[in-house]
Chains A and B, each alone.
Chain A
Amino acid sequence: QQQVKQSPQSLIVQKGGISIINCAYENTAFDYFPWYQQFPGKGPALLIAIRPDVSEKKEGRFTISFNKSAKQFSLHIMDSQPGDSATYFCAASVYQAGTALIFGKGTTLSVSS
């Protein structure tokens, strides 16, 4: 119930293409869904986050799509660039309870030029 399942484990995309990473959760109490980006040897950094009151949130080339009934959310990276090559983690938590985040296992994205 506490798990967040992330797929795929790795992804190779051509420059200019769309990268799509998916996550699924079981705990219906989760209501905060952030995505973190991590470059090798560095700590993760918040990329974008969504609450379930909206089905989509866009920031630049990054979009989160959220499907509450399916308990799934995904990250879309439009016009993928080599600089986007990193590991991406989805996460979930109960926003009001001050609980720690539950992270997916990560997706390593490589954007080929």
Chain B
Amino acid sequence: DGGITQSPKYLFRKEGQNVTLSCEQNLNHDAMYWYRQDPGQGLRLIYYSQIVNDFQKGDIAEGYSVSREKKESFPLTVTSAQKNPTAFYLCASSIGGGLRTDTQYFGPGTRLTVL
């Protein structure tokens, strides 16, 4: 089965702790994205990566960090510096290649709750 997997589906974290959300794709896509979704806010871009070992900040990167060491993986770390981390996090990928905007395919999401 080809697709994007995110784990875990639900994640609980205590205030002050860092937490890493997993995103894996086996679509052989170059580009990967992280979005945050809050009620009534739509999808806001956190970070995106067009190729391995390269990534760019999105609109709301503060308090987050990413790495792209492998083509198929793009983990997101929510740090303790993120003021309001409780949200639904969505990972996406697209064919990419830096030449055009392709269809973005989304994973099932991770719901993070800070206790």
Binding site for B on A (CB under 8 A): 6, 9, 32, 34, 36, 41-46, 49, 89, 93-101, 103-106
Seen from chain B, the residues whose Cβ lies within 8 Å of a Cβ on chain A are 4, 31, 33, 35, 40-45, 48, 50, 58, 90, 92, 96-101, 103-109
Known contacts A95-B101, A100-B58; A42/B109 CB under 8 A:
yes
Closest Cβ neighbor of A97 among chain B residues: B101
Total contacts A-B at CB 8 Å:
61
Task: Pick the contact of A43: B97, B101, B106 (CB < 8 A).
Answer: B106
A-B contact pairs, 13 of them (CB 8 A): A9-B40, A42-B108, A43-B106, A43-B107, A44-B90, A89-B42, A95-B100, A98-B100, A99-B101, A100-B48, A100-B58, A103-B35, A105-B42
Which of A42, A46, A49, A103 contacts B42 (CB under 8 A)?
A103
Known: A44-B43, A98-B31, A100-B58. A32 touches B108 (CB 8 A): no
Contact of A101 among B4, B40, B41, B104 (CB under 8 A): B104
11 A-B pairs besides A36-B106, A93-B101, A98-B100 with CB distance below 8 A are A43-B4, A43-B90, A43-B106, A43-B107, A44-B106, A46-B103, A98-B31, A100-B58, A101-B45, A103-B35, A105-B40
Bound: A42/B90 CA distance, A? 9
Tell me the smallest distance from the CB of A34 to a CB of chain B, in Å. 7
Check B101 against A32 for contact (C-beta < 8 Å): yes
B101 x A94 contact (CB < 8 A): yes
B108 CB to nearest chain A CB (Å): 5
Give Cα A44 to B40, complex, Å: 15
Q: Which residues of B contact A46 (CB under 8 A)?
A: 103-105
CB of A98 within 8 A of CB of B42, answer: no
Query: Chain A residues with Cβ under 8 A from B100's Cβ?
Result: 95-96, 98
Contacting pair A98 B103 (CB below 8 A): no
